[in-house]
Amino acid sequence: MSSVSVDRSTKRRWIQSSVAVFATALIGLGVQACGTSQVAVPAGPGHSTPTAPSNSTSPSNHSSIGPKGKAEQAKPVRPHGNVRQHAQTHRVTFEKKTSLAKTASFSDGVKVSVLKLRPVTAKPIGPGQVGGPAVGARLKIKNGSAAAIDLSTVSVRILGSDGAPGILTTGGKADPLSGDLAPGATSRGTYVFTLDKSLRKPVTVQVEYGSGQTVLQFSGNVG
């Protein structure tokens, strides 16, 4: 064997050995990279993309720094009362029905009378209002008490012969009581309610004011 062939054989074995060492190093690096990194996998239908866990924690109890620099636990808020407590209410007294032609009085001396109860036609003015056959009630109130009264607290209702209430409306020349009424003074106001013609014999007019603990009642036919 010549020296040239020996040199070529030695060079070939050296190259093969170097390639094997290099390939082994690359495989080792690949295994290490797979062990320390995460591989992103596309999410298919019905699967959600995994998210990295959060390092932040949300404590269940809040704490604050006290005057001495120490953490103090916040006290929980405890509701007051119990299920056995009841809301305060007042008793409402309905006075005996009186004729439309008579005057009724509250216990403080305030007097009310129905001057007129006549059929009218209500025309809807605002949103949600109802028009049609109605009843207009003209009332007079006299302040027989020792103090002024707020007439905006006066409440008037009309019940048909079947006991169902008429619907209060601002149409049909309604002019409800308003302002303050001084002791000894008199004021008049008109209230309009939609009410079917078949329910007007008789009707009941109910009047109350202020705290509404007493309700005056008048009964008679519309006409």
The 10s digit of each residue's pLDDT in 112-160 is 999 999 999 988 777 777 788 999 999 999 999 999 999 999 999 999 9
Compute the distance between CA of residue 103 and CA of residue 205 in angstroms, rounded to an integer: 12
Which domain range does residue 23 map to? 1-31
d(CA 215, CA 65) in angstroms, rounded, equals: 60
CA–CA dist 150, 145 (Å, integer): 12
For the segment 149-175, the average pLDDT, to the nearest whole number, is 93
pLDDT at 60 over 70: no
The pLDDT-based confidence of 91 (bands split at 50, 70, 90) is confident
Same domain, 25 and 97: no
Cα gap 173→188, rounded to integer Å: 14
Residues 110 and 202 in one domain: yes
Is residue 181, in this structure, part of any structural domain at all? Answer: yes
- Domain of 161, CATH number, reads 2.60.40.1240
Please give the model's pTM, rounded to 2 decimal places.
0.60
Q: Are 204 and 195 in contact (CB under 8 A)?
A: no
User: Do 136 and 209 belong to one domain?
Assistant: yes
Q: Rounded distance, CA 115 to CA 112, Å?
A: 9
Confidence category of residue 36, pLDDT binned at 50, 70, 90:
very low
For the ranges 48-62, 77-91, 165-179, the maximum mean pLDDT occurs at 165-179
The answer to the question of residue 40 being in a domain is no
Q: Per mean pLDDT, which range of 29-33, 77-81, 162-166, 184-188 is the poorest?
A: 29-33
Give me the phi and psi of 34, to 5 degrees please: -70, -30
Mean pLDDT of all residues in the chain?
A: 78
Q: CB of 143 within 8 A of CB of 110?
A: yes
Query: What is the number of domains present in the chain?
Result: 2
Q: What is the pLDDT of residue 59?
A: 46
Backbone φ and ψ for 15, nearest 5 degrees, come out as -65, -45
Q: Do the beta carbons of residue 120 and residue 192 sit within 8 Å?
A: yes
Residue percentage of the chain with pLDDT more than 90: 49
Residue with more model confidence, 125 or 198: 198
100 with 194, same domain?
yes
